[in-house]
Structure 1
Amino acid sequence: MGKNQWVSPRENGWGVHGEGNEKDTKHFDTQKEAQNYAIGIAKNQGSEVIVQGVNGQIVSKDSYGNDPNPPKDTEH
């Protein structure tokens, strides 16, 4: 399983970075663009996407791997 991908607010847009990485993999103007990019990486690596809101709080977590304990939420 690869690194979880974080979508985080930045001064001038949104950044995508692997968990534990200091530098962003890529920078985007919108949260949606960043989220779509992160989903592509997560699907390829079998990991999760964690999306933060403008205040930095986690607003969404989705697994794109082989999760042995899938969530019972109804987000999607």
Structure 2
Amino acid sequence: MGKKSIHVVPTGDRWGTIRDGGSRHSNLADTQREVIAAARDQARRDGVELFIHGEKGQIRDRNSYGNDPYPPRG
């Protein structure tokens, strides 16, 4: 089984990260910026996708730090 993507999501009045299929948040912080920095480092180490969600849950940005399923064309 491959490593699971990381999502930066709002959780109550704070921000946190959660893995695909996970039920517990980690890297909780008061600002999205703080959580994004930690999540980006983790995604690079693990070689996974990073999804950044907005306040209403919509995906607003996405980065691949591993096997990109849609690499740029040459």
TM-score (ref. length: structure 2): 0.85
CA offset digits 1:44-74 (Å, max 9, x no partner): 11101101100111101100113253257xx
Mapped partners of 1:68, 1:55: distance in 2: 26
Question: What stretches of structure 2 of length at least 5 have no aligned partner?
Answer: none
TM-score (ref. length: structure 1): 0.83
- Are residues 1:21 and 2:17 paired? no
Aligned residues: 72
Give aligned-pair identity as a percent.
Answer: 36
Where does structure 1 differ by over 6 angstroms across 4 or more consecutive aligned residues?
none
Q: Offset of 1:14 from its aligned partner?
A: 0.2
Give the aligned CA root-mean-square deviation in angstroms.
1.6
Distance change in 2, residues 1:65/1:28 (3 Å): same
* SS of aligned partner of 2:63: strand
Question: What stretches of structure 1 of length at least 5 have no aligned partner?
Answer: none
5 Å matches for 1:17-56?
A: 17-56=18-57
Q: Offset of 1:37 from its aligned partner?
A: 0.8
